[in-house]
Structure formats: C-alpha cells, structure tokens
Amino acid sequence: MNALPKGLSRLLLGLSALFAIAFAMALAFGKAAIAPHLLAGCFVSLALAASTGQGLLRQLSFTVWIATGVVVGMAFHGSFITFPSWFFGLGDRELTVLFIPVLQIIMFAMGTTLSAADFTRVFKMPTGVLIGLACQFTIMPLIGFGLAHAFGLPAAIAAGMVLVGSSPSGLASNVMAFIAKANVAMSVTMTAFSTMLAPLLTPLLMKMFASEMVEIDVPAMMWSMTKIVLLPVLAGLVFHHLVYHRLKWLDRVMPVISMIGILIMTVLTVAVGHDKLMQVGLVLVLACLIHSTAGFTLGYFVCKLLGRDQLTCRTIALEVGLQNSGMAAGLAKSLGKVATLGLVPIVFGPVMNIIASILANWWRTHPPQSESNSTPTSNG
C-alpha cells in the first residue's frame, strides 16, 4: 500500500461524495432507476478509499466492503441471479451454485492461518477459553430464538436468527481482537475450537430452537457442515504445516481471498433474497442490531461476573458478538433456503462488524487501567 499515491484515498473519497450527490439528485428528480447504481458507485469508491487509507478509515475497511456488498447486491439483483448463457457453458444455472465452493475456499483460507499451537494453547488458558465457548453457544442461540419470536418474523427468516446465533465465531473476531489490543492468542484459540465444534453443536442447537420454524435434519446438517466447514479447515491446517511456512507471501494473500469470498456470498445472497429483504429489511436490521449488541454486552459481563480480567472479558465479548455469518449463509444454501434463511447472516454481518469496529477502536484507545502498562497475558 505504501507504493500507492498518498492522495489516492482522498481522491476516492471525493469520488464517493460525487456519487452520493448524484444519488440524491437522482432521487430528487425522479430518476429512481439509476439511483441504486449511483449508490453502489458511492460505496465501492468509499470501500476502495478505506482500503488505501490510513488510521480509523483503514481499520473499518472490512466493514465498509461488507456494506458495499449488500448495496451492490440490492442495486444489481436482477443481473446477478443467473449466469450469462455464454459464461463457461453454464447457461441459466443459478449463480448461487458458487456458494458452497466459495465457502469451502474461505474455510480453507481460515485453516491456513491456524496451527497446532492454536489448539494446544487451550492448556495454558483453559478457564477463559471454556467460558468463552460456553457463552458462544448459549448466549447467541438463546437471544436469536427470543428475537425471532419477539419480532414475529416469517418462519424461515426467524430460523435464520437462530442459525446465525448458533454459528461459531469467525476470522473477524481475531481481527477485532488485534485492533482492540485484546488477547489475540485467546481469540484465535476460541475461533479454532468453536469452528471445530460447529458441525456438532450448530445442528443440535438448530434442532432445539428452530425445528418448529423449518425442518431440521440433524445428521444431514452435520454432514453438510463437515464437508463445507470441518474438512476444508483441516485441509488448510495441514497445508499450513506442510507448505505455508515456505511461502510467506500467503500471509497477505489468504486474508484477501477470504474477504473476496465473503463479498461474493454477500452480493449473491442479497441479490437472490432481494424481494424478501425489501419486505423485512428495517425490522431485520433492528433485530440483528439488538442480537449483536446483546452478544457483546452479555459476553463481557458474564465473563466479568466470573472474575476474569478485563482483557479476557474484552476478548470473549468480541468472540461472542462476532459470528461466522459467511458460514451461516453457506449452510442456508446447503439447505436450499438461501433467499430466506440466508438473509439474516448477510444482514447480521455488516451490523456486527460496524458495532465491533466501534467497540474495538474504543477499547484500543482506552486500555484497562490496571493493565495499561503491561503486556496481555495468556493465562485465563
């Protein structure tokens, strides 16, 4: 990024502002047909500005890109539902066939960032990790179940609230723990364990809380999650030990691959579920806002009540509130309900990342009083 012109980010911000003005003018003069495309241009320019910028803007780049994916999906939904007839001979097959292979690539990329040390580290901080995992798979599913009923959402979308709550944490939690200057080692360990446990626990939690909303075949869901989550992560873990250490440039490439994959899934899910999203959009955003905020809050204070130090509490709060929304969307596709069940994780993703970005940056500038002059410990 250092090779890029210093003024590029400002130029892109200016372009984003011009698109925003054009969008407002299009609405004012009744040109609603082009307004979504102008808004998409505004967000794409803003995301590029964040990627090439510095400081807070750079730290928010992942969040901005996810929001951009939502806007692009809404703007171009009619164009992204099927492949063009000339595209690799796929004809009219739905673009959502990309969901599972894209998710497998994301999970493989995640596996390449892990090592055996991320699993053995649990012996150095067993209490903190166990508390975090317990919070992860109790607080979020319960809140999702309660909100689904409280908001009276359609059955399949309500089940999506439970699905995203029953999912493990993702790579975003590790990034936010780094930004917040929390215990990154604990965050990575918790993400690794929650991901490995997900093929067992997520189907069981869905059966417990969502079986009245959608049909849940537990063995079939376990097998689907094994194929799209567990096996790719294990393959990535093996790749890490056999090849990764010889190719250091992969440290920069793999996170980019993961982000591109999540963006593709975001655009496709929003495009396919556009009509449903238009019906329940604001309600769903509010429900996801409450869900994520409650996860961060309860994760922190439950940990605090159990006598953990503030760095551990902050780490666990980020793990609990940040779900693997990409995995949840991919699982919705495997169940054939991407336009309904898959909408919640796609809305939840940008919402949780915005809240987490604000929280992580606040914690970064407000270190714990008793620990402000010390290095984060790994016992916990």
% residues pLDDT > 90 (the chain): 22
Domain-located, residue 69? no
Q: For residue 375, give the DSSP letter.
A: P
Residue ending a domain, among 10, 43, 59, is: 59
* 239 or 58, which is more confident: 239
Domain co-membership, 22 together with 150: no
Q: Is residue 245 scored above 80 in pLDDT?
A: no
* 327 or 76, which is more confident: 327
Q: Is residue 184 scored above 60 in pLDDT?
A: yes
* 91 or 347, which is more confident: 347
- b/e 167-181 (16+ beta carbons within 10 angstroms → b): bbbbbbbbbbbebbb
Q: Is residue 31 scored above 70 in pLDDT?
A: yes
Q: Which domain holds residue 28?
A: 1-59
Give the pair of three-digit tokens for residue 318.
């980020």
Pick the closest to residue 34 from 24, 44, 46, 43 (CA basis).
24
* 42 or 211, which is more confident: 42
- Length of the chain measured in residues: 380
| Cα 106 to Cα 7, 19, 172, 224, 260, distances in angstroms | 32, 32, 12, 15, 9
Provide the β-strand partners of residue 323.
169
Mean pLDDT of 110-120: 79
In three-state secondary structure terms, 169 is strand
Domain co-membership, 264 together with 343: yes
Chain-centre distance of CA 36, in angstroms?
A: 24
Domain co-membership, 97 together with 54: no
Domain co-membership, 137 together with 220: yes
Domain-located, residue 86? no
Domain-located, residue 66? no
Domain co-membership, 35 together with 162: no
Chain-centre distance of CA 217, in angstroms?
A: 25
Domain co-membership, 26 together with 103: no
Pick the closest to residue 348 from 366, 362, 327 (CA basis).
327
Provide the CATH number for the domain around residue 238: 1.20.1530.20
Domain co-membership, 206 together with 262: yes
Banded pLDDT at 111 (limits 50, 70, 90): confident
pLDDT value of residue 380: 55
Domain co-membership, 116 together with 31: no
Q: Is residue 124 scored above 90 in pLDDT?
A: no
Domain co-membership, 174 together with 27: no
Domain co-membership, 35 together with 180: no
Number of domains in the chain: 2
Cβ neighbours of residue 149 closer than 8 Å, sequence gap 6 or more: 158
Domain-located, residue 320? yes
> For all residues of the chain together, what is the average pLDDT?
80
| 373 burial level (CB within 10 Å; 0-12, 13-18, 19+) | exposed
Domain co-membership, 176 together with 274: yes
Q: Is residue 320 scored above 90 in pLDDT?
A: yes
Element (H, E) at 262: helix 250-272
